[in-house]
Structure 1
């Protein structure tokens, strides 16, 4: 009798609340497709957004494996790991590109590139497509040589470079002593000047990332080749770092002679970028540069590039807000994603199923646009190392009680309910953020401020809101109204790809800032 009563109670609970288990993660296609990069210097990031750290770059013509996509970003497999790129700079292929059959090779040799920006081509001809570039000092595996052309292994595939610019080391030949390539480094100490400096297993940008060191840490430099320094970054573990980011001193404390930056330029990526008199955010502004302007890099000081202006004088620009070409590594600031790692975030796309929510002047259904926002935000938060749960991942009706129960079941650190607004007055526009319990207000304020800053929408403030998903929970929960579908212009704006990217980035930044503090 007790067993029957327990089963009856369980069935009633499920019918009443719709269950409390996690909604399944958005379906991702496992099928791997290929694509081709359509621009030079395409940044590959740790996650789908500009808040994430750059882990490498790709050049026009390179072929990539695409693992999955969302509305604005593509997750790809590269020679330096899995990352995300802006989808607009990728030409998608319906089938995998054929790999040219290689002639039999009795043995493979190593080669070293002797110039910067050497074109890597798909075939042994100047008419072959450029699929990438190599820099001076990079090592390659030589598969064969045909007169003026050398076949190499590039990103796991056969490719070709000019034989004139590769120094091939035959198997069994005596290897050149590395001491001939390194300066006298006895007693030289390198102190990290970048906020975070990547450690690689080889002395070039194609080396695998094996760790990182932080600003202020000092290491004995064991070897230095082609602007890379070998250090013992952990007891018994050695790796290579870009020596542009090392302030070198000798054993007696004397400054070691620094290296000038050669054959490198940077491009401004934002209008109105400040160029300063010295490498500090508090330094005097000497002029403002606009998007697309290019400057020669003279030197690197901490996280700032010294650049040559047209009048012959120099100025400094923050390294994390420009794009670099040449043999100088890109300065990167720690991403906002570091503050969300291991947090549990529940995302609640409003409405769904038989509940359409509001309907816009042009027929936009609120339930559809809330899900679009939530999925973009899901990918960003997931890439930051957080545990992310969606209350729904498709057009399904979920009761309010079940949404609240999901946050409680997963012991959420934050619950974000996503909505779009409507009112009879079609002139009303803007974003409003709501909380119910006083402890929820700081989260609402942080997310609201970041979202307004990112989207430039009208600020309707952070307000008290008597909503079920906020009132009936003891979790840190907020509800966001991200624009008015009743305003014709705003309806068109909020359904655009650009707005969806901006608003999801704003919410992501707000969450990160909240947990940072």
Structure 2
């Protein structure tokens, strides 16, 4: 009897193998879990028992494939099966020697390419690493804190492949640079390692020729042509003269942090030499690895973290660019009778005098979009630049329309869902992921026409993780982050528009965009309110998540699909953003 059962089982196995052939994989093919709580089963089917549950991003080696199921090797050494539609296939590891900087506040280093591997250390924002190889969504790196694997989405590449010298990869510089030692005594070593023999010592202020830089070390020429290695954090660029600000990048940076440290080098390891405050504006003299060099006091220079600066181009129409412009022998001529001259350069400031058409006044200085003028009694007053004609060296100021406040603003547009993540599906079969992309494309086109710098987290039907979407806001220093969604609920009578914020500093953006969009679309107002969503909760920038309507309501689903609604919704969001920046 037992022999018959055995033969019957063997026949079943052969039959299954013929219907669902087993595809074996060469070593090294890996996949990552595409969803949180992925069930690993004892066999290739939903009827098999669950042997493990893993987190999103976990990496596995593929052993074989049967139908729509993959046999995987777990971190415990055991094997299990997962549905192939719930995993992402990874490309084979590619070798590289590229330098990069960390863009996350704290990035874990792991022993292997996946969250199921143990943590061996961590890195902080701004630190430099060398990427040794890439495997899917993970990169093997080497840093002064050790080597291991990190999530690739939190790396920003800064260098091209280079040669390996000594114990650390070195990227050859395109040309040599002169730098200055900023430590009291700096050891020069024979190889790029703190354990290497000391080849010499340099005093503070000594100038060296930097031949190449990599992984936190600089290869230098010193003492009549000797070659050695020093820690890059103790080298600073040569100090420019007080006039060096004239050679700036043409970009003004406004500080967004309450108190921002100024360092002697473009790194978190640089020594703090001063502090600047929120709202202060500086010309950016140089940018490197997400750090910006500024003149924080007259004749004094330092580096600040670029992700705490809101950037805008210096130009005649820009308030920051106008302030302080040369006004030698400049005069303004009043264009209209009864023009208000105010006590301060503000529309709500007290009116201290009025001028009539044709009257002229001497310009004392430019203050944003206003001219400070000398009145007939010798006192000073302010007049709006767009109601006068200027002559002389002072710039002519034009009245800005509402959309001018969008110019040069960095706006990250996040079309919700994508790829394997369809989002909600409407009662008529509408996929949320497709509709959010349609709205986002329209919105992007309109914002771009008004001079905004738009970054889309996705531009096609592709899956991107929530952390990578937030990272896009941080890396690009977004002035605003808007996540586009459509809603769903079991009660099919519910309709309307809702906008969410998580942090108090996001509330103004959410309320302004929501109000303008509801007005434009005539949608039912479900208000701007608190919401615990990853893309706003983990976002350090001003961010809002807008649900433009309910796909679970048949009539509203039909409405939001119309070109008229899409035009109105995108226009409303643009209007809201313009108003937000104007009132900010």
**Do Structure 1 and Structure 2 share a fold, with TM-score over 0.5?**
no
- Structure with greater strand share of residues: 2
TM-score normalized by structure 1?
0.40
Structure with larger RCO (C-alpha < 8 A, sep 6+): 1
